[in-house]
Amino acid sequence: MAEKIFYMDNNATTRVDPAVRQAVMESFDLYGNASSMHSPGRHASAAVEKARGQVAALLGADADEIIFTSGGSESNNTVMDLVISDLFSGSGRKRIITSSIEHPSIVETVEIYREKGFPVTIIGVDSTGKLNMDELRKEAREDVALISIMTANNEIGTIQDIAEITRVAASCGALMHTDAVQAAGRIPLDLHGFGVDFASISGHKFHAPKGIGALFVRKGLHIAPLIRGGHQEGGQRAGTYNTPGIVGIGAAAEIALRLLDEDGKRIALLRDRLRRGIEASIPDVHINGHPVDILPGTLNVSFPGAEGESILLYLDMEGVAVSTGSACATGSLEPSYVLIATGVGAELAHGSIRFSLGRYSTDEDVDFVLSKLPSIILRLREMSTL
Amino acid sequence: MSDSFMNDWVYTDTVKEHFMNPKNILNDPDYQDDGRGMVGSMACGDQMLVVIKVENDRIADCKWKTYGCASAIASTSMMSEMAAGMTLDEAYNLTPQMITDALGGLPQHKFHCSVLGDKALRAAIDDYLERVGRENPFKKQIAKIVCECKGITDQQIEALVKAGTVDTLEQLQQETGLGTVCGKCKTLAEDMVEEFRHIYGRE
């Protein structure tokens, strides 16, 4: 194994920020149950409420609109399960509208409701991953309960116009959810400005620990819990407050908000240099995603004639950590459904690599990848039946 | 990527050695082969070319190219080493299991999709026998009955899928009558159609 790790998989997860780690470590002393009335409980509760405010600030929301969950998947599942809740009973609204590039925690939950007889409409995307707005406007009718569209895509980084999509949802009276897991902490978010009803985020995408996330529920809405059996979070999510996780996501949110502008610019410059370097040193590459409306750290590239898992593992031998949309990495015969939805074709999807840079990415990381990648691609292409 | 994938496979020394330093890659564009076989497709994520030289009914040389994942590279590399020196009969009966065992194991989901080397090798031997105008004694030898009621073999199914005659179980049933009597073999046959479609790039 390589000695040094050149980590370019920040869309998968991120390293915990040292200041966050410190805050989490200290929070272990706040061992009281945050629901208890005694002083250890009140101390824990104060830490939880402080974190709630920190998360709200990052999202452009109010503290009482934040529910802590175990992460993005739980938040997404909670929202999708609302189609069977009181929120829509008697309204005649059952249809779910979502896109062809959502996270599996949306895709698979929606599929379950489809099987149960709920009407589902999947809106397509163009070659850059942007939602087909004409199709959305056409499908936004009186029977729609919920529209769920991700703010930014995990694989290709494309950012959607959530404010405009929310206006379409409002025009037909549907509730609007956005999976902002990849966007939170990386690009400015203004949930009040967007006007969304629900939003999902996950701490470990912005340097908090794994296992902590949040769900934004717009003021005035009250949701049915996915996890039942307690009065926590106003009865909307049961389970003893995860004080260390909550403190962690709060601290991470505060740091992310402070660094949002500076980090975003620096990371985008690094990413652009990586892209230009790849284009200059490797013939016949295909850049996936949107040229402008894209997460600052995401670069998804297809290398025709070189298979993604092989590229990933040759890079891994050098200490470089990336992801691929190849079928081999999904454990099935199908390559990335996100790339397929953008119409790039199966072969380019099999040969795709996602580089995702983050707060700890450096010029050295980019230089190192650029020093290793061309020979890896050349070698695989020489070995290929192409 | 699943944990089992990372733990069971990637860092076993034999696989890593064959992946990092693949043996017998075909890099001579003027290679004079006696037989040539290609299976899979780039759209499916795995395509494999095997070329052989034959002397005295033995594989004198076996070279290959592949577009595929690491286990495709490692398993074909291993296959090429195993095949060299084998009689045509032995080479024809080389199985994915033998290759996988020699590698020290592959995770289940890798087994079917990436171990195509043996099939490409068989295609190369078929091609050799056809070129020299000899009858192919091996095909029948390894055929297995899938549908007992109608006597349909795996090779018949393979040939129909390869030729593009059959893409679904229903078409296979119409074509051969397979699974139309007791129906016990239908699930197996359906899986085989899907697997052969993958191998022959008919997806």
Mean pLDDT of each 10-residue bin along chain A, 386 residues long: 87 98 98 97 98 98 98 97 90 95 96 96 98 98 97 98 98 97 98 98 98 98 93 95 98 98 98 98 98 98 95 94 83 83 93 97 98 97 89
CATH number of the CATH domain containing B149? 1.10.10.1100
CB contact (8 A) between residue B69 and residue A328: yes
Tell whether A304 is covered by a domain.
yes
Q: In this model, does residue B4 exceed pLDDT 50? A: no
Q: Residues B69, B169: one domain?
A: no
B113: annotated active-site residue: yes
Q: How confident is the model at residue B2 (pLDDT cuts 50, 70, 90)?
A: very low
Q: Which of A149, A137, A140, A163 is nearest to A80 (CA)?
A: A149
Chosen for mutation from A1, A9, A13, A309 (greatest number of chain B CBs closer than 10 Å) is A309
Query: Model confidence over B48-95: pLDDT tens digits?
Result: 999 999 999 999 999 999 998 888 899 999 999 999 999 999 999 998
Q: Residues B9, B98: one domain?
A: yes
How far are the Cα atoms of A77, B53, B72, B85, B157 from residue B61, in angstroms, in the given order?
56, 5, 20, 8, 30
Domain of A23, in residue numbers: 18-255
Axis crossing angle, helix B169-176 with helix B186-199, rounded to the nearest 10: 110
pTM for this prediction:
0.89
Q: Residues A90, A160: one domain?
A: yes
Return the pLDDT at A1. Answer: 54
Return the pLDDT at B5. Answer: 44
Q: Residues B28, B81: one domain?
A: yes
CATH number of the CATH domain containing B81? 3.90.1010.10
Q: Residues A224, A343: one domain?
A: no
Lookup: tokens for B120: 């490409």
Q: How confident is the model at residue B105 (pLDDT cuts 50, 70, 90)?
A: confident
- Round to whole Å and give the CA distance between A87 and A226: 14
Q: Please give, rounded to a whole number of angstroms, the shortest distance from the CA of A21 to a CA of chain B.
A: 26
Return the pLDDT at B96. Answer: 85
Q: Residues A134, A223: one domain?
A: yes
Q: Residues A215, A68: one domain?
A: yes
Residues of A with CB under 8 A from a CB of B: 305-310, 313, 316-317, 326-329, 331-333, 335, 345-347, 350, 382-386
Amino acid at B59: I
Return the pLDDT at A89. Answer: 86
CB contact (8 A) between residue B66 and residue A382: no
- Round to whole Å and give the CA distance between A354 and A343: 17
Complex prediction ipTM: 0.82
For chain A, the straight-line distance linking the first and the last C-alpha, in angstroms and rounded, comes to 30
Q: Residues B41, B126: one domain?
A: yes
Task: Answer for the pair A335, A307: CB distance below 8 angstroms, yes or no.
Answer: no
Q: Residues B29, B122: one domain?
A: yes
Q: Residues B125, B32: one domain?
A: yes
Tell whether A1 is covered by a domain.
no
